[in-house]
Amino acid sequence: MNLHSEILVLAGALALLIGIVSVIWSTLRRARRKDPDEIERRRRMELHRLGRITAAEIVDLLEPESGIPVAGLRRPLMIVYKYEVAGVTYEVSQDISALSSVRSVCLTGTQTASVKYDPKAPTNSIVLCEEWSGIR
């Protein structure tokens, strides 16, 4: 075997090794990505644990339109509410479609509620989570 052939074999082996490492790295990276529903659940639980409570007014309940559901997609059920922190009024919404155990609470026509918000980012708030409900 001459030097040129050895260099080609080494280059091929290096390319193969880089390809294998790339596939393994890509697979591990995808495995570490969190599901959007899990990210939202963790956000709600963090606000439940650390959030401050203030009074809120429920503005609207936006129910999904009837029709043919798209396979694999959940139609969002949104609760719209507003609250005031340090003289600033915030109007936000929360997707409560994943909270099937507490959804019926919202349908009672209640106009007032409590909200838990992040004091460092007051727009980050919840009115419902798995372990807490601000609906009276």
Half-sphere exposure of 75 (CA within 13 A, CB side): 9
Place of tokens 């009672």: 108
**Residue 4, pLDDT score:** 80
**Residue 74, pLDDT score:** 63
Cα 39-107-66 angle, rounded to 5 deg: 75
Domain boundaries of the chain, sorted by first residue: 1-30, 36-66+73-133
| Distance, CA of 47 to CA of 58 (rounded, Å) | 19
Q: Note the pLDDT tens digit of each residue in 67-114.
A: 555 555 666 788 999 999 999 999 999 988 888 655 555 545 558 899
**pTM attached to this predicted model:** 0.67
DSSP string computed for 36-79: HHHHHHHHHHHHHHH-EEEEEEEEEEEPPPPSPPPTT-PPP-EE
